[in-house]
Amino acid sequence: SDLQKQEERGELLQPLIFVLLVLCSVLLYFKVSLMDPGFVKPEEEEGENKGQGVVIPQIPGDIKLRRCGYCLVKRPMRAKHCQLCQHCVRRYDHHCPWLENCVGERNHPLFIVYLSVQLVVLLWGGHVAWSGLYFEQSWEWLQHNIFLLVSFLLIFIFTIVVLLLLVSHLYLISCNTTTWEFMSHHRISYLRHSELENPFDQGIILNLWRFFC
């Protein structure tokens, strides 16, 4: 049959890989959006705070960790309270409205993997949409290809957004800083009073290693 011939020629492999990538992207979305991003729990706060001076010796010792005014836990360094999630999040990066969850210490690496897979899916989908277009200057052609044109335009916009997000996050990770620290450097006490502009930076290779591994 034609299906068997296509399978023998390997023509079914690419659609299968594309479907698997889409499925992987959907599963990653739900995983990142539903998992604990690193909520600070009252029973963990003592253990969290003991190691701060060892991990970050460049931070001035007179900076005291304060209790959160909302959830009343003692916030570890680099944690921030999210008013939408109603929790303090360790190594808080940002609250993502598309995920309806915070991106923090526990789900940030998976968030990067999700963006990477999503970018591959969008680029592949854009290629498929573009390959299906053949241009003619006629109203009839526009009527028959309007769906492909709109699809390609939407894919192009989403691709640019995901690409910019991924590049910006990889840059911040390579510097061992978060979106919140980058945007609010002047308002964060342990950064404002530090002698170094970024006391967490340990070099690109070590920063990436510690983040992903």
Residues belonging to the active site: 96
CB contact at 8 A, 113 and 28: yes
Residue 98: Cβ within 10 Å count: 8
